[in-house]
């Protein structure tokens, strides 16, 4: 006990001096600076581009579309609408309503907000009230008296008030850490939101590609079936050996075997989409969306590197983690310093309920406690050192996250340029393979080419179709990856969580 004054409630001698002392201490606590480092947001990087030598301005043209990159342009928060598919928009909307993962992230954000509101209570006086009723037997002999024992009832009402002075700012640093946790959970919600949408679009694109590949394989099966029939006729006529028929039948069976594999991938995509929209696969069927139903965006905004660090969710998570670690250094530092608490108590007791407020039963106390650690075996010292190390680790991870984000944007920009070139080459390969197949089939029917030529042309055409479809799908998915790498544009929508004030 640092200082205290007690007495009966009817004689508050010296209470005015104590009140003045408390006000002086409170003013000192308010005006004092919080211990520990003041967190400063890391400066934006000085680089102007993501890729070495500058970012691409546009991709090459493939299938009539060349994608253009506009640095500093506004990134639409509902960017998936740019694919111009009402069915896709409907799937995304349903997922945003029902996805359990997004609901969990939103609940976690609300939890952190409530914890912050709860934390603000430390800045207010803590008041408690109590009441008790007991029946006692008093034995005077315990105090050296030979008078007779007596039995009585005792009724008591009490109230106490305490206030911890935040002299060194430990409580303020704790609130700062809670605010950083809110920022972290908000960024985590944004990351969950963005990941959900990108997974939906990528799955829709993959599903459309599987469907197109199944359709192309079925067409190839029909062509190969016709070749088998022609070979059977020629073998019956004795113009070709029967081995030709067997080879074509083997090739046909190989194509037919790929259909179940593709259908399995298609079913897995359906099940994944159902899960993403928060439904069981047995009760939800995805809409039929083909590659032709999707429009590849031609104009792509690109956030500047200096803006990306304040908008991309994973960078914001790393920043909030570093901010919380910085605040925890202050909390650990304040724990090594003296703590001052003002407190007061009042009680009223009586042998009967109607005599509780009699002057003989009233008492009060007022005072202040000062406690300071003297020897803890190094515990508090090393806890602070551990907090400092955690802060340095968080800073390093923040820088690593920024570097990884810049590299992802650079990779995606270059990938889109390469995707266009790849698709253009695949289109040429597909057309060439189709022309070659038609020519070989005609020659085979005329007896000019052998069955090996037909098998080779069939295989080349089938592989060209698969490669072309995969190139189209990859171009769509890399476009999605660019929006994800740039943060998804969430900052252009009003925040869904309210601002918290003490």
| Per-residue H/E/C for 112-161 | HHHHHHHHHHHHCCEEEEEEEEEEEEECHHHHCCCCCCEEEEEEEEEEEE
Asked if residue 16 is part of any domain, the answer here is no
- The token pair at 387 is 């907090």
Predicted TM-score of the model (pTM): 0.84
Asked if residue 23 is part of any domain, the answer here is no
Contact (CB, 8 A) for 133 and 154? yes
Residue 148 class from Cβ within 10 Å (0-12 exposed, 13-18 middle, 19+ buried)? exposed
- The token pair at 294 is 């999707």
C-alpha–C-alpha distance, residues 472 and 62, integer Å: 10
Q: What is the CATH number of the domain that holds 288?
A: 1.20.1600.10
Asked if residue 244 is part of any domain, the answer here is yes
> Which residues are paired to 136 by β-bridges?
152
- The token pair at 23 is 């006000």
C-alpha–C-alpha distance, residues 186 and 497, integer Å: 8
Asked if residue 29 is part of any domain, the answer here is no
> Which residues are paired to 159 by β-bridges?
129, 346
Q: Average pLDDT across each block of 10 residues of the chain; the chain has 502 residues. List them in order.
A: 45 47 44 79 87 91 93 90 95 95 95 94 93 88 80 91 93 95 96 95 94 88 83 83 85 90 95 96 93 93 92 95 96 94 92 83 91 92 95 96 95 95 94 91 81 78 89 95 92 56 47
C-alpha–C-alpha distance, residues 250 and 443, integer Å: 21
Asked if residue 75 is part of any domain, the answer here is yes
Asked if residue 230 is part of any domain, the answer here is yes
Find tokens 């709860």 and name the residue: 118
- Those residues with Cβ within 8 angstroms of residue 451's Cβ, 6 or more apart along the chain or in another chain: 231, 240, 244, 247, 248, 444
C-alpha–C-alpha distance, residues 493 and 311, integer Å: 12
Asked if residue 447 is part of any domain, the answer here is yes
Residue 180 class from Cβ within 10 Å (0-12 exposed, 13-18 middle, 19+ buried)? buried
In which domain, by residue range, is 444 found? 38-124+168-337+378-492
Q: How many domains does the chain have?
A: 1
Contact (CB, 8 A) for 78 and 466? no
Asked if residue 181 is part of any domain, the answer here is yes
């Amino acid at each position: 006990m640092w200082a205290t004054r007690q007495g009966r409630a009817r004689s508050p001698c010296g209470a005015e001096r104590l009140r003045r002392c408390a006000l002086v201490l409170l003013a000192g606590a308010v005006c004092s600076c919080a211990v520990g480092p003041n967190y400063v947001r890391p400066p934006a990087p000085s680089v102007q581009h993501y890729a070495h030598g500058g970012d691409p301005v546009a991709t090459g043209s493939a299938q009539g579309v060349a994608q253009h990159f506009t640095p500093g342009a506004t990134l639409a928060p509902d960017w998936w609408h740019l694919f111009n598919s009402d069915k896709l928009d409907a799937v995304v909307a349903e997922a945003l309503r029902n996805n359990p993962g997004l609901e969990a992230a939103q609940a976690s954000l609300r939890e952190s907000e409530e914890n912050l509101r709860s934390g603000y209570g430390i800045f207010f006086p803590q008041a408690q009230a109590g009441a008790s009723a007991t029946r006692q037997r008093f034995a005077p002999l315990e105090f050296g008296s030979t008078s007779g024992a007596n039995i009585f009832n005792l009724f008591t009402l009490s109230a106490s008030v305490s206030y911890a002075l935040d002299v060194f700012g430990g409580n303020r640093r704790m609130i700062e850490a809670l605010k950083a946790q809110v920022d972290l959970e908000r960024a985590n919600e944004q990351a969950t939101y963005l990941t959900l949408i990108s997974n939906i679009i990528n799955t829709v694109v993959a599903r459309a590609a599987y469907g197109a590949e199944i359709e192309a394989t079925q067409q190839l099966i029909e062509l190969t079936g016709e070749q088998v029939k022609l070979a059977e006729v020629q073998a019956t006529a004795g113009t070709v050996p029967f081995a030709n028929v067997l080879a074509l039948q083997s090739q046909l069976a190989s194509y037919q075997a790929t259909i179940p594999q593709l259908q399995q991938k298609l079913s897995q995509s359906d099940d994944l989409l159902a899960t993403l929209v928060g439904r069981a696969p047995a009760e939800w069927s995805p809409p039929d969306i083909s590659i032709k139903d999707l429009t590849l965006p031609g104009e792509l905004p690109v956030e500047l590197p200096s803006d990306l660090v304040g908008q991309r969710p994973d960078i914001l998570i790393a920043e909030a983690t570093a901010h919380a670690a910085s605040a925890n250094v202050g909390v650990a530092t304040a724990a090594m310093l003296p703590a001052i608490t003002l407190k007061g108590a009042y009680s009223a007791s009586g042998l009967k309920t109607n005599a509780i407020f009699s002057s003989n039963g009233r008492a009060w106390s007022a005072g202040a406690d000062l406690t300071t650690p003297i020897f803890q075996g190094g515990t508090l010292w090393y806890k602070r050192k551990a907090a400092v190390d955690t802060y340095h680790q968080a800073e390093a991870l923040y820088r690593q996250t920024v570097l990884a984000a810049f590299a992802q944007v650079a990779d995606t920009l270059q990938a889109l340029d390469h995707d266009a070139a790849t698709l253009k080459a695949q289109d040429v390969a597909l057309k060439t393979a189709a022309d070659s197949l038609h020519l070989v089939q005609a020659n085979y029917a005329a007896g000019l080419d052998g069955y090996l030529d037909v098998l080779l042309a069939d295989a080349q055409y089938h592989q060209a179709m698969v490669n072309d479809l995969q190139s189209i799908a990859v171009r769509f998915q890399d476009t999605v990856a660019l929006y994800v790498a740039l943060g998804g544009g969430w900052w252009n929508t009003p925040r869904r969580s309210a601002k918290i004030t003490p």
